[in-house]
Amino acid sequence: MGNVYVPQKRKIELVSHHERDPISQSHQLDETSQGNGSVEDGDVEEGEIFEDGRPLPRTTSSSTGDRDIPKPATNGYPSAYQGHHLCESCSSIDFNKIQPGPGIWKKTALKLGTLSQFTVDPDCLLCQLFASMASLAYAPNTSDSRTVDDITFYLCSFHTSAMLAITGETPEPSVDYRNDSFSKERKMTHALWPSRTSIERSGWLSPAQRTGEEQRFAARVLKSQADLDIVSRWLNFCLENHGETCEPTDTRPIPDLHVVDCNTGLVIPAEPGCKYLAMSYVWGTAPSTELADGESLLATSTPILIRDALSATKRMGYRYLWIDRYCIPQEDGKERHSQIQQMDLVYSRAQATIIAISSPHPSHGLPGVGSKERAPSVTINIGNELHSYVPPHPTAEVYGSVWNSRGWTHQETILSRRRIFFCKHQIYFECAGMRCHDTMSTPLELLHTKELRMFSKWNRPGLFSRVRQTKDPLNAVFDHITVYTRRNLTRPEDILNGIMGTFHAFETIYDSFRHYWGIFMVPDITYDSVVEQHVRRSTRTEQFLTGLCWHLSGSWKRRPGFPSWSWAGWYGPLKPHSEGNGYVKNNYGVKIWIDSIFTSQMDLGTFCDTNTMDVFPKNPEPFIVTEADFFHVRFRLTTRNSSREVKMESKWEAAFETENGEPIHAPFHITRHTSVGDDFYTRMLENPWSAFVLGDRLKTRIHSGTKRKILSNECPHAIIIVVEELEKDMIERVGIIELDNPEDRARLEGISKHRCIRRYG
């Protein structure tokens, strides 16, 4: 190693900066230049950075020409490089001169140049590490034609604790964190800088934790086998301190709960008060098979992921693990349905959930557990202190994983009180009160509020959050459905099963919460008049009408066995719900009855009062009976491709006239997508179609609690559902019109309408 002096408790890191001006090919220091020693976040100045008017020492390099720059390992992260010394350029860097500024992210910086300008010594570990981190730091931008060679990198410094702070415009820590113990524990790191996000993509180099000492804000030197005692300490800290912050909201017994005994590998009935962990993972494509009586999951034929999870559970201090594939009878439809109805209880009552992020298939084990080793930390001696490479924050790995694309895992995550993510290079833990990484040693007590119930607000939030009471339950439910519909299901018929636990969690919080075939009814209070401050509660019909106002992102095919009026009746993701959209006011007198062999056309309010939320699978006929004002509407295309063909992305416009001949035009959001050979689009353009008005959508804002205040009474949006008339007074949804033009909305009263009763399927 080269002889480089680095003061104690100092850290190095890498960040990229998009230059505003062309980059000079000269890589030498201009000693006559002057610079500003303090630079704002993401605003490193052109030229060298100075302190006290003196230039900082820097590396010297030249263009690499055709020389290959070391690329990251196939997994995208730095690995165990073959370097045993520091080159002359790296040895000349005086890291002591690169100091953090007065704020968390204000900094001095040393310009290194572009990646192509780096002189990379194949025997220098720091050279190779910088090159690899620079490649990770650069994320191609579709709106930016530049390549990684156009990005200039700066070596910057910041406190290690800053990586725990919230993203964006990071505030200063609160007064509670400006005490001596906190300041003494913080270390400093150096990074290649254009922005904070590039650090989170590249990782950084930090002073390493000394053997046998629990240094705070220091990097842990990770071995190929994970130290699960660290995770146990996190779990115990949460259990001992967080109290109701992380306690289950529903303490009812879980009927017929079965768990796996990790000592024997047998599936057994859970004893009352059983403390168990749950598991969330990707099943893969292998068919589900029932375990034979007395068959143990410890057998070698059991997928390695399952065996690793059993081992990890024991090493974290627990004996029992709940695994859906083995603890829910997969061949018994009635029992499977019964267990699915209580998924919210299973995950919320588990002490924690093991989440196999990096395992796209059960044949891939948990990294650092069992035979699937993870790459040990890359370490380097700089001066007289050992430094360790800290992998990037797991955000990108978690969100980009196969696991995160599966439908079932959405509710498994948000229903869990504590989540343990086994990522490729680290273990990440989060609960409602704190977030932890095994790559860094952090002072949990100092990061919490004084009561130790949760992290201070200046800490960055977790990746997921549990279902909790909110000021806007309407948007909260829509948001969960939107996220869920963007995921994939192996069995399309599980579209409602996969979100049933989420619905039950909302029912636990809001007693009157109901859903019927996915259309939810959640209570709300709306100020009907801004001036008079008159408070009105939404009716069940208004709640249901609001639930019918969903939009698909594009037009899609029907899902067999589900009603057209429900989002569950279509393949495809929902568009996000606008926060300003309140409830639909039933000012057109729409009436709804539930129609099935069990209810004999029961009105909606009575149905909700007398039935539980899991009624929908028992109803083989997913129909509602609707009484509303119907009228006719025609359509035209506003966009076509060059071949004049109608495509999914084609834009449509609805047109109808008042009795006085005044035209009304509005965008039409088509739900249905035709298949080849279908004449649906032709009929759309040639024939009149039936439509009915749901009501006026109130434009609102949150006032307090679960109350909304109407922003304006002058121009509410009329919501119109377009349907296809079938035989025997049957109708199916075709699309939706949102009439938001005030003049057109006023003309709507002049449309010739007919009061009709239709069976809506």
Of 464-468, 636-640, 643-647, the one with minimum mean pLDDT is: 643-647
Residue with the larger pLDDT of the pair 626 and 155: 626
Are residues 179 and 246 located together in one domain of the fold? no
Token pair recorded at residue 153: 């990198």
Percent of the chain with pLDDT over 70: 70
Q: For 315, how many CA atoms within 13 A lie in the half-sphere containing its CB?
A: 17
C-alpha to C-alpha distance for 436 and 389, rounded to whole angstroms: 17
C-alpha to C-alpha distance for 415 and 395, rounded to whole angstroms: 19
Cβ neighbours, 10 Å, residue 695: 24
C-alpha to C-alpha distance for 207 and 188, rounded to whole angstroms: 8
Amino acid letter, residue 736: I
Q: Measuring CA to CA, how many Å separate 25 from each of 16, 69, 710?
A: 17, 17, 60
Contact 354, 422 (CB under 8 A): yes
End of a domain among 155, 178, 207? 207
Which H or E element spans position 708?
strand 707-710
Of 316-325, 426-435, 463-472, 487-496, the one with minimum mean pLDDT is: 463-472
C-alpha to C-alpha distance for 743 and 510, rounded to whole angstroms: 38
C-alpha to C-alpha distance for 205 and 199, rounded to whole angstroms: 10
Residue 623: the pLDDT is 87
C-alpha to C-alpha distance for 374 and 357, rounded to whole angstroms: 13
Contact 85, 176 (CB under 8 A): no
Which residues have C-beta within 8 Å of that of residue 450, sequence separation ≥ 6? Answer: 176
3-state secondary structure of 743: helix
Does 465 score more than 50 pLDDT?
A: yes
Beta strands in 482-554 (DSSP E): 514-516, 519-521, 525-527, 535-537
Residue 215: the pLDDT is 61
In a domain, 647, yes or no: yes
| Cβ neighbourhood burial of 744 (10 Å; 0-12, 13-18, 19+) | middle
DSSP 372: B
In a domain, 249, yes or no: yes
C-alpha to C-alpha distance for 464 and 416, rounded to whole angstroms: 10
End of a domain among 148, 175, 207? 207
In a domain, 234, yes or no: yes
C-alpha to C-alpha distance for 116 and 124, rounded to whole angstroms: 17
In tens, the pLDDT along 346-360 reads: 999 999 999 999 998
Of 373-377, 480-484, 500-504, the one with minimum mean pLDDT is: 373-377
Are residues 194 and 293 located together in one domain of the fold? no
Contact 443, 182 (CB under 8 A): yes
Cβ neighbours, 10 Å, residue 415: 26
Are residues 46 and 194 located together in one domain of the fold? yes
Residue 145: the pLDDT is 53
Written as one string, the DSSP assignment of 677-696 is: T--HHHHHHHS-EEEEEEEE
End of a domain among 207, 241, 271? 207
Which pLDDT band holds residue 593 (cuts at 50, 70, 90)? very high
Beta strands in 307-439 (DSSP E): 320-322, 353-355, 379-382, 385-390, 418-422, 427-431, 435-437
Token pair recorded at residue 316: 């974290």
Contact 259, 321 (CB under 8 A): yes
Cα-to-chain-centroid distance, residue 191: 27
C-alpha to C-alpha distance for 593 and 102, rounded to whole angstroms: 65
Which pLDDT band holds residue 101 (cuts at 50, 70, 90)? low
| Cβ neighbourhood burial of 759 (10 Å; 0-12, 13-18, 19+) | middle
C-alpha to C-alpha distance for 422 and 410, rounded to whole angstroms: 17
Q: By 3-state DSSP, what share of the chain in percent is helix, strand and coil, each rounded to 5? A: 25, 25, 50
Contact 71, 130 (CB under 8 A): no
In tens, the pLDDT along 46-76 reads: 333 333 333 333 333 322 223 233 333 434 5
C-alpha to C-alpha distance for 484 and 469, rounded to whole angstroms: 19
Percent of the chain with pLDDT over 90: 34
In a domain, 495, yes or no: no
Are residues 282 and 418 located together in one domain of the fold? yes
Name residue, tokens 């490649």: 135
Residue with the larger pLDDT of the pair 672 and 285: 672
3-state secondary structure of 148: helix
Does 152 score more than 80 pLDDT?
A: no
Which residues have C-beta within 8 Å of that of residue 280, sequence separation ≥ 6? Answer: 353, 354, 355, 356, 403, 409, 412, 413, 416
Query: How much is the average pLDDT of 135-143?
Result: 60
C-alpha to C-alpha distance for 601 and 599, rounded to whole angstroms: 6
Are residues 534 and 632 located together in one domain of the fold? yes
Question: What's the CA angle centered on 374, arms 372 and 377, to 5 degrees?
Answer: 160
Amino acid letter, residue 716: P
- Provide the domain limits for residue 532: 473-486+523-760
Cα-to-chain-centroid distance, residue 277: 22
Written as one string, the DSSP assignment of 548-593 is: T---BSS-B-B-TTS-TTSGGGBSSPBPPPPTTEEEEE-TT--EEE
Are residues 190 and 236 located together in one domain of the fold? no
Cβ neighbours, 10 Å, residue 452: 19
Residue 398: the pLDDT is 93
Amino acid letter, residue 119: T
Query: How much is the average pLDDT of 742-760?
Result: 88
Are residues 110 and 194 located together in one domain of the fold? yes
Are residues 256 and 314 located together in one domain of the fold? yes
Does 84 score more than 60 pLDDT?
A: no
C-alpha to C-alpha distance for 310 and 269, rounded to whole angstroms: 17
Tally the domains of the chain: 3
Are residues 281 and 382 located together in one domain of the fold? yes
Query: How much is the average pLDDT of 654-670?
Result: 87
Which residues have C-beta within 8 Å of that of residue 424, sequence separation ≥ 6? Answer: 75, 77, 357, 358, 367, 374, 397
Are residues 535 and 656 located together in one domain of the fold? yes
Query: How much is the average pLDDT of 463-475?
Result: 83
Does 682 score more than 50 pLDDT?
A: yes
Residue 751: the pLDDT is 87
Does 317 score more than 70 pLDDT?
A: yes
In a domain, 494, yes or no: no
C-alpha to C-alpha distance for 722 and 693, rounded to whole angstroms: 9
Which H or E element spans position 721?
strand 717-725
| Cβ neighbourhood burial of 464 (10 Å; 0-12, 13-18, 19+) | middle
Contact 458, 177 (CB under 8 A): yes
Residue 576: the pLDDT is 87
Are residues 238 and 195 located together in one domain of the fold? no
Helix (H) and strand (E) counts for the chain?
18, 35
In tens, the pLDDT along 432-456 reads: 999 999 998 888 887 887 788 877 7
Query: How much is the average pLDDT of 664-668?
Result: 91
Residue with the larger pLDDT of the pair 183 and 515: 515
In a domain, 512, yes or no: no
State the average pLDDT for the chain. Answer: 76
In tens, the pLDDT along 265-277 reads: 999 999 999 999 9
In a domain, 504, yes or no: no
Q: For 310, how many CA atoms within 13 A lie in the half-sphere containing its CB?
A: 22
Which pLDDT band holds residue 23 (cuts at 50, 70, 90)? very low
Are residues 92 and 53 located together in one domain of the fold? yes
Of 339-353, 401-415, 661-675, 704-718, the one with minimum mean pLDDT is: 704-718
Q: Are strands 109-114 and 258-261 parallel, antiparallel or unpaired?
A: unpaired
Does 543 score more than 90 pLDDT?
A: yes
Cβ neighbours, 10 Å, residue 17: 25
Token pair recorded at residue 520: 């939810």
In a domain, 80, yes or no: yes
Written as one string, the DSSP assignment of 606-671 is: HHHHH--GGGGGG-SS-EEEEEEEEEEEEEEES---TT----TT--EEEEEE-TT--EEEEEEEE-
Which H or E element spans position 279?
strand 276-280
